Amino acid sequence: MTDTTPREPARRRGSRRKHFVKRTAAGSAPGQLLPDPNAHPTTFRLTTFDAKGTHEHPVASLAEVERVIAEGHLIWLDVMGLRDVDMLQTIARMFEIHPLVREDIVNVHQRAKTEDYGRELYVVAHLMQIQQEFRSEQISIVLGKQFVISFQEIPDDSFAQLRTRLCATGSLRQMSAGHLTYLLLDAILDSYFPAMEQLGDRLEQLEDQVLKREEPAGFAPLHEVRRMLIDMRRTIWPHREMVNSLMRFGDSFLQSETEVYLRDCQDHAVQILDMLETYREIAAGLLELHLSNQANRLNEIMKVLTIIATIFIPLSFIASLYGMNFDREVSPWNMPELGWRYGYITVIGVMALAALALLVWFWRKGWLKDQR
Amino acid sequence: MTDTTPREPARRRGSRRKHFVKRTAAGSAPGQLLPDPNAHPTTFRLTTFDAKGTHEHPVASLAEVERVIAEGHLIWLDVMGLRDVDMLQTIARMFEIHPLVREDIVNVHQRAKTEDYGRELYVVAHLMQIQQEFRSEQISIVLGKQFVISFQEIPDDSFAQLRTRLCATGSLRQMSAGHLTYLLLDAILDSYFPAMEQLGDRLEQLEDQVLKREEPAGFAPLHEVRRMLIDMRRTIWPHREMVNSLMRFGDSFLQSETEVYLRDCQDHAVQILDMLETYREIAAGLLELHLSNQANRLNEIMKVLTIIATIFIPLSFIASLYGMNFDREVSPWNMPELGWRYGYITVIGVMALAALALLVWFWRKGWLKDQR
Amino acid sequence: MTDTTPREPARRRGSRRKHFVKRTAAGSAPGQLLPDPNAHPTTFRLTTFDAKGTHEHPVASLAEVERVIAEGHLIWLDVMGLRDVDMLQTIARMFEIHPLVREDIVNVHQRAKTEDYGRELYVVAHLMQIQQEFRSEQISIVLGKQFVISFQEIPDDSFAQLRTRLCATGSLRQMSAGHLTYLLLDAILDSYFPAMEQLGDRLEQLEDQVLKREEPAGFAPLHEVRRMLIDMRRTIWPHREMVNSLMRFGDSFLQSETEVYLRDCQDHAVQILDMLETYREIAAGLLELHLSNQANRLNEIMKVLTIIATIFIPLSFIASLYGMNFDREVSPWNMPELGWRYGYITVIGVMALAALALLVWFWRKGWLKDQR
Amino acid sequence: MTDTTPREPARRRGSRRKHFVKRTAAGSAPGQLLPDPNAHPTTFRLTTFDAKGTHEHPVASLAEVERVIAEGHLIWLDVMGLRDVDMLQTIARMFEIHPLVREDIVNVHQRAKTEDYGRELYVVAHLMQIQQEFRSEQISIVLGKQFVISFQEIPDDSFAQLRTRLCATGSLRQMSAGHLTYLLLDAILDSYFPAMEQLGDRLEQLEDQVLKREEPAGFAPLHEVRRMLIDMRRTIWPHREMVNSLMRFGDSFLQSETEVYLRDCQDHAVQILDMLETYREIAAGLLELHLSNQANRLNEIMKVLTIIATIFIPLSFIASLYGMNFDREVSPWNMPELGWRYGYITVIGVMALAALALLVWFWRKGWLKDQR
Amino acid sequence: MTDTTPREPARRRGSRRKHFVKRTAAGSAPGQLLPDPNAHPTTFRLTTFDAKGTHEHPVASLAEVERVIAEGHLIWLDVMGLRDVDMLQTIARMFEIHPLVREDIVNVHQRAKTEDYGRELYVVAHLMQIQQEFRSEQISIVLGKQFVISFQEIPDDSFAQLRTRLCATGSLRQMSAGHLTYLLLDAILDSYFPAMEQLGDRLEQLEDQVLKREEPAGFAPLHEVRRMLIDMRRTIWPHREMVNSLMRFGDSFLQSETEVYLRDCQDHAVQILDMLETYREIAAGLLELHLSNQANRLNEIMKVLTIIATIFIPLSFIASLYGMNFDREVSPWNMPELGWRYGYITVIGVMALAALALLVWFWRKGWLKDQR
């Protein structure tokens, strides 16, 4: 609504680092929000659920939102972009959100977690974006009796598909805040599977290269995949505990039948962790294979050098020997071989024999076989 | 029953990847099953247990199954192949299977688990197939008071032997749904032992090769074995917890005497994990041995080069020295050795002494001993 | 107050070691404090909280402190520098601090912990200083019903910002000893984030260098970063448990609303540990990348040597061969090639062919491509 | 008693593998025992404990055993060798042993465990045999109120010493089934200490070799020791839990005073595991030392080559230079040095200086010092 | 008292092994003590605590000890050296010590532990001796209501300082058996700090050497430090649990105020473990640094060889070329260059250009920069 300039934040483009922790100033009071100039502009969408079905409300201001809330139906407020700190504070006050929660919503480097603030639950999750590179987006969900508020870091409407389906299926089922939270978490966890598949493809491709001993660009792509695995694992790891806490804390918010659905969510998180672990082990194995390949190649190179040098160095010596200029006229002891009738041929023969003997020796050592 | 074309799915042949996660479309409603064109066609077999014994019913349609169910005996419906989604939905409705369970049955990349849905238990296990390469097959078991339904991913009748034995032994014992589940799990876990034995044989063979320093094809076979160990471990690991949950959840389904049998199942899972761990450690040791062998071989190669080069390079230098063309007639200081009576012989002698001295030095350094 | 000499302790400057454990003499009685000549001189600041607001009291002696305590308001005594053992003993007796606590305050190598001494809680935490190198400073906090005493190892007033804010916001909220402790811990944990950011920058820089294969100074900077990670991890690790114990023990000291703030503290500790773990894995990956680069470079060096040597050694041999001085006049068998009309050109041609053949062989082996 | 042929089973001699899992045919009914032709012939010994003391009964048939049982005294039936499946079945029926236990007794690849079958406890332990190589032997113990049956895989009477002592000390103490089990377990765990000592000796010997850089046979003996450590660890690991379960389950079988003895057993298991862990770490350190030695040796070899080659290659070049045959008569510019009065001596001097300069350079680089 | 020969046991001097497990003969009855000829001779000291203070009793025989015990005061019997098995048995009977405890006192390779024998607690701890090398000494403490008996393996009076202090401070506090045990444990744990400091110094020294790439004696000293770390970790690890058990079991022996002191003990154990872990990680990093240094050095060596050989081998070839003896008189095609006016100078120029071109190439590859 405010600040509609769609410029892509600069920090996000240049840096590879995803571990940055944006913090409020050390020692400042909790609940004070610093506007982040790199954050995306803030917009929101309002969806209500009543007996007649699911409706998306085209509201333009927070005042209209308050009016809809007053009707008493279950609402879902989907806030996208976190730049407009004033608007966020207004929303927070409207739903009586705890100051610490407000801070965590804006500081988008929280671990996934569920926190119980009595009248509301605060859930942090991370949605995986695949564009050129993987990027996790923090989704904060505040869950009350009659409302669910989701805060998306990036305004790309990751829940569009879910919203469409909800509006389409209409009043098929009596929706509750707990079940809506499950649907959001399910959509979030589903975002990891395409990323996992891409990672799996890259790993398989690297494995093929390493097994064929191609490795065009050395070891760097493997390093990159391992970094992604580390990052994804760090991101997904606390989701398991987050869903668990949600099941434990959410007694007054979740219907008992929602629990089997949340258990399914947790299963997905565990499955992703499982696959990440497998990928990590495969990547570690590939690294070792790569190092072994390097050592093999060195051995091969050195074998070529050694074979050539070992054969020709003695021969060269013999040739040099008979290139000496000792004066044969002064003494019969000085290089009489040079005057022999078959001297040259004899020397050539000796050289051939020496080379042959060395070749046989190398052959028996197995050095003439191609290592591949 | 439907689609009897026996063509082998293409994806399964080409790819080495087993970590693929087939998911329903992100954001779609739970319980909706997407037909997988690569899945095997669906067939089923029906077995009933009554006071008179165990019978296999030759039924051709689900309507007949319903008729048999109505008789009230314990039944075992063994569904093979998961392509016919409509038939699976019909079965699911017939036994009131939860929508999330229906999804997990079709998406054959679940971890082994037991889930309690009140009136039924849902068990996922993995059977190990050994053909050219190892391949785990998902077996889903839905367990009610009076029925057991097993869903096999591949229609190769892995439970044929068990069914034969049950029909043969007849009404030997009062069969229950819980005990039948145990028998299925026991057959599933037994499928790992031949695979373990094959892996053990391969490892032992690789160990022999590495210890004899043969290693014909480098490091790739060891990598392959390690990948299999990683895959198997990932597959078998959650079975332990699955059996445990079954014992915990299954109070109303399992007779108390079944528990000792399930404990035996769990023992087998632990035993397999134990062996996999041992194999992993042995494989890691082999890798280190292999790398040490590579380094040894490099040392040996370099020693040969160094010995040959170090002996002949100085000799060649001496020979080159006396191959210089300084004009002896101009000055008596120019290479007078060339005119000495015993010059040549002296030089040969010096060369021989130098070579001998170097050989002695190498011998004392221990470089002339064969490293092997 | 005493000993105002501001000389910087010598031990702190020279040694890289931070693992030193200063202990009271073995077998000595607990509670006896040995003055440490290297410790900083001791000063203190007194802050009181009453209904009218927060005041910093300009007191010059402990006697005045006692007078202020007698007024019954909540006080915060911030002691900086631990050299003046007598003054510390006086404070300890004034607040009836347990002898073991007194020891731990002075022996500044405690792990972070919370200990329950009935009438008071003893909290140890570590503040991270970034100057040239990282240095953790022990902060001891003794927490009673109506007082909080903080002992800083280094008198650089790390809590200045907090004190200013408290005095500014005045009586905004009814302050309690528990909440003040939270504020101190929050300021302490906030001190880690700039350090983490610096470490992240260094790692990213090293990563760039290693990926570009620059590595100007070898492996030592990576080793230094890893040591810092080890040290920071050792320091921060027990803080999680410390906050946890504080929540558990602190029932009679903490108001229930303080708990959500402490939980936030714990979140920060976990987040820092998480990032340290990620950094450790990245650093480990960089090391492996570095070793692989080294091996690559060796391969490249050896390839250059092998290509040059393998091409020229045979050529040199041929040249040496025709430099032999066999007497062509004695016998027609002695080096007749030297007398051929096109002998020289033929030999040159043979040499060119041999070199070309070897180049083609190297090219097909892929050795002529630049590995980078 | 049956089958007295003392031939040593073939499988045991040839194979190095100890991870073999002999299983009943997949899908077969539990409790059916397959005779193993490689198993040792079955014999047994009967010992009774009554008020008057301990007696060994010379019984020749199971019928006599039944008669002794009927007398109501505590008995110990020590069965050795597991080939005679019929006899084992008879014993099992006599003491009403559960079918699953019968299977586990014969399939001698169980992990150590204690299982509670209500009227009896089933304990599996492993005794360590040291002959040429280590070999663990499965000991199954079935423990009832008034009987202890031990099943030894190998009929070498490992409990001879214990039996002798029991008969000697007579009715010194009121023996119970629980205490007898403790005595058996104590004897079993004591069998590990000589093995540990042998392993420690071998490791120390290897350490000496590696530290002295001897390593006669490369890396293979270290690999062997590590394999043994892996095997022993796998074997001993579950014993801790086994004793623990025994204490937990055995309430109705064990007297309270037996517990301190079992705790002592558990201490021994932990102590062995502790030592194995230490050995593993030492072996890992030795491996790294060995690899570092290999790299050192390569460095040394290459240094010798580099020094020799770097000194003599330039010298040889100079010598070759003045071996060229440019026609000095044609032009005064062609190699006038050859006609100088002190040309030869100058060149020799230049060579000497070059060699000296290189030697000084190497010396300052520290390459002339012996690395050792 | 008996056997006053002060000869140092032979086994202790020669062997580096500390993992030896001295066991009673396998299968022997518990409680039987075998005299160890290598053990130190046995002496003892008696201290009593009464209302008037702490006294050291000069007693010469166990009979006198019994007389003092009868007085009913708290006593501390400090037994040093474990050779006199009869005396130990007498003491054990005097205080009704359990046979298993007697065994463990003499077999000085127990892990640290606390065992509850109802009327007495048995505590095993290890004191760290620093002489030439580290050596842990087993201290057994038997703790009853009115007595503490400590058994030291080596009679060097490690508790002398403590005893002196106790006698000096007199009846300052009402001593109890529990508090005395704490004082002993505190003295024992304090013995680790000097050892830790020495290890830290050695590590820092090694780090300096490795970072400066000195490493005079290769890798062996680092291996030695790592072995010590392994040994110390193995020794200290169970102390944490030992103190924990003491707090748990000791309800009837310890006063509630002793608990905070024991907690302090436990803190020290954790702190030592923490530092050992840090040292281990630093040592592992040093090893990797060392290996990287080795690889660097090899690269440097090979670069020197490659630069020299690559420059001079082609030059030597050219010189050899013009050293061939083709007969220029026979044909104008045979080496006409030799007769050119500026032939020699041209060749020299070509050589210089080739060398320069190679040097430029090496410079651009960065090989001419010093790696350091």
**Tens of pLDDT along C240-293?**
999 999 998 877 788 777 888 899 999 999 999 999 999 999 998 888 888 888
Tallying the residues shown for chain E, one arrives at 372
What pLDDT sits at residue B148? 94
Tokens of A62: 């927070």
Which is higher by pLDDT, B213 or D107?
D107
Which of D 201-240 lie inside 8 A of B, CB atoms? 218-220, 223, 226-227, 230-231, 234
Q: What number does CATH give the domain C296-365? A: 1.20.58.340
pLDDT at C321: 87
Residues of chain B within CATH 3.30.460.20 domain(s) are 27-292
**pLDDT computed for residue D6 by the predictor:** 39
pLDDT of the residue at C268: 92
- In this complex, do C322 and E317 lie within 8 Å of one another by their Cβ atoms? no
- On whether the CB atoms of residues D48 and D167 are closer than 8 A, the answer is no
Note whether B111 contacts A267, CB cutoff 8 Å: yes
The beta-carbon neighbor of D27 closest among B187, B317, B320 is B187
What distance in Å separates the CA atoms of residue A350 and residue E359, rounded to the nearest whole number?
Answer: 38
Q: In Å, how far are A42, A89, A99, C371, D51 from A84, measured between CA atoms? A: 6, 9, 16, 51, 91
Task: Give the DSSP letter string of C212-247.
Answer: TT--TTTTHHHHHHHHHHHHHHHHHHHHHHHHHHHH
Write down the pLDDT at residue B65: 87
Homologous superfamily assigned to E24-292: CorA soluble domain-like (3.30.460.20)
- Ranges of CATH 1.20.58.340 domains, chain C: 296-365
Angle between helices E258-321 and C99-106 (to 10 degrees): 20
List the single best residue of E228, E286, E301 to mutate versus D (max D Cβ within 10 A): E301
What is the number of alpha carbons within 13 Å of residue A138 lying toward its C-beta?
21
* Delimiting residues of CATH 1.20.58.340 domain(s) in chain B: 297-365
- The pLDDT value recorded for residue E19 is 43
Q: What's CA E233's distance to the chain center, in Å?
A: 8
At the topology level of CATH, where does B297-365 sit?
Answer: Methane Monooxygenase Hydroxylase; Chain G, domain 1 (1.20.58)
Q: Quick one: average pLDDT of C330-348?
A: 86
Nearest by CB: D319 against B299, B302, B324: B324
Rounded distance, CA D217 to CA B370, Å?
A: 11
Which chains, if any, share at least 3 CB pairs under 8 A with chain D? Answer: B, E
3-state SS assignment for residue D152: strand
| CB-based contact C54:C48 (threshold 8 Å) | yes
The two structure tokens encoding residue C276: 């340290």
A330 in reach of chain B (CB within 8 A):
yes
What distance in Å separates the CA atoms of residue C191 and residue C127, rounded to the nearest whole number?
6
Using alpha carbons only, give the angle C247, C252, C256 rounded to the nearest 5 degrees.
55
Q: Is the pLDDT of residue E20 over 50?
A: no
pLDDT at residue C86 is higher than 50: yes
Residues of A in contact with B312 (CB under 8 A): 313-314, 316-317
**Helix (H/G/I), strand (E/B), else coil: E81:** coil
Residues A341, C331 contacting (CB under 8 angstroms): yes
β-pairing, B147-152 with B74-80? parallel
Q: Alpha-carbon distance C67 to C45, whole Å? A: 14
Cβ neighbours, 10 Å, residue E99: 16
Number of alpha helices (DSSP H) and beta strands (DSSP E) in chain E: 10, 7
Residues 21-50 of chain A with CB under 8 A from chain C are: 21, 23, 26-30
Which class would CATH give B27-292? alpha beta
- Residues E97-138: tens digit of each pLDDT: 998 899 899 888 889 999 988 889 999 999 998 876 778 899
DSSP lists the bridge partners of residue B142 as: B122, B149
pLDDT of B6 reads 39
The b/e string for A66-97 (b: 16+ C-beta within 10 A; e otherwise) is eebbeeebbbbbbbbbbbbbebbbebbeeeeb
- Per DSSP, the three-state class of E56 is strand
Say which amino acid occupies A159.
F
Structure confidence at residue A55 (pLDDT): 85
Rounded to a whole number of angstroms, the distance from the CA of E268 to the nearest CA of chain D is: 22
Q: Measured between CB atoms, which of D196, D285, D314 is closest to E312?
A: D314
Mutation target among A232, A297, A321, A327 for the C interface, most CBs of C within 10 A? A297
Tens digit of each residue's pLDDT (9 = 90 or more) over D21-59? 444 544 455 566 777 778 889 999 999 888 778 888 888
Q: pLDDT band at residue D8, thresholds of 50, 70 and 90?
A: very low
**What pLDDT, on a 0 to 100 scale, did the predictor assign at position C12?**
35
Instruction: Tell me the nearest-neighbour CA distance from E62 into chain D, angstroms.
Output: 29
% chain D with pLDDT above 90: 31
Would you call E191 and C223 a contact, using CB atoms and an 8 Å cutoff? Answer: no
The pLDDT value recorded for residue D251 is 77
Q: H or E stretch including E214?
A: none
E279 near C CB under 8 A: yes
CA distance A49 to A73: 6
Please indicate if any CB of chain A lies within 8 Å of the CB of C335: yes
Q: Give the residues of chain B that fall short of pLDDT 70.
A: 1-32, 132, 170-174, 214-218, 370-372
Yes or no: say if B101 and B90 are a contact pair by the CB < 8 Å rule.
no
Neighbours of chain A (3+ CB pairs under 8 A): B, C
CA-to-CA distance for D98 and E43, rounded, in angstroms?
A: 57
- Taking the Cβ of residue B352 and every Cβ of chain A, the question of whether any pair is shorter than 8 Å is answered with no
Residue A170 sits at the chain C interface (C-beta within 8 Å): no
Nearest-neighbour CA in chain B from D341: distance (Å): 5
Q: What angle do CA C213, C216, C222 make, to 5 degrees?
A: 85
Q: Any idea of the CA torsion for B346, B349, B351, B356, to the nearest 10 degrees?
A: -160
Chain B hits for A326, Cβ within 8 Å:
322, 337-338, 343-344, 347
Residue B114: name the closest of B185, B30, B192, B39 by CA.
B185
Rounded to a whole number, what is the distance in Å from the CA of C70 to chain A's nearest CA? 29
Compute mean pLDDT per 10 residues along chain A, 372 residues long, and list them: 38 40 51 77 89 82 86 90 90 90 89 90 91 84 92 87 81 75 92 90 88 69 89 92 89 81 91 92 88 84 88 90 85 85 89 93 82 46
Backbone angles phi and psi of D47, in degrees to 5: -125, 135
Q: How far is D204 from chain E (nearest CA, A)?
A: 8
- CA distances (Å), origin B266, targets B109, B189, B256, D304: 22, 9, 16, 61
CB contact under 8 A, E260 and C290: no
Largest CA distance in chain A: 127
B190 lies within 8 A of chain D by CB: yes
The per-residue pLDDT for C214 is: 67
Q: Which of A5-14, B32-41, C346-355, E177-186 has the lowest mean pLDDT?
A: A5-14
Q: Is D186 left (phi over 0), alpha (psi -120 to 50) or beta?
A: alpha
Q: How confident is the model at residue D166 (pLDDT cuts 50, 70, 90)?
A: confident
For domain D21-292, which CATH number applies: 3.30.1360.120, 3.40.1640.10, 3.90.550.10, 3.30.460.20?
Answer: 3.30.460.20
Chains C–E, number of C-beta pairs less than 8 Å apart: 174
B334 has a chain D CB within 8 A of its CB:
yes
Query: Which is the CATH superfamily of the domain at A28-156+173-292?
Result: CorA soluble domain-like (3.30.460.20)
- Check whether domain C26-292 has CATH 3.30.460.20, yes or no: yes
- B-chain residue closest to D15, CA distance: B204
Residue D173, classified by CB atoms within 10 Å of its CB into exposed (0-12), middle (13-18) or buried (19+), is exposed
pLDDT at position C36 over 90: no
The answer to whether E343 and E272 have CB atoms below 8 angstroms apart is no
Q: Provide the shortest C-alpha distance from residue C27 to chain E (in Å).
A: 5
At residue C161, the pLDDT reads: 85
Residue of E nearest to D203 (CA): E17
Identify the DSSP state of A33: -
Indicate whether D324 pLDDT > 90.
Answer: no
The residue type found at B226 is R
- Nearest 5°: the CA angle B140, B141, B144 is 150
Residue D86 has phi, psi (to 5 degrees) of: -65, -45
A-C contacts (CB, under 8 Å): 174
| Mutation for testing the C interface, residue in E286, E290, E326 having most C CBs under 10 Å | E326
- Nearest-angstrom CA–CA distance, D270 and E115: 15
> CA-CA distance, E279 to E269, in Å (whole number)?
15
Closest chain C C-alpha to E293 CA, distance in angstroms: 8
Q: Which residues of A touch C197 (CB under 8 A)?
A: 20-21
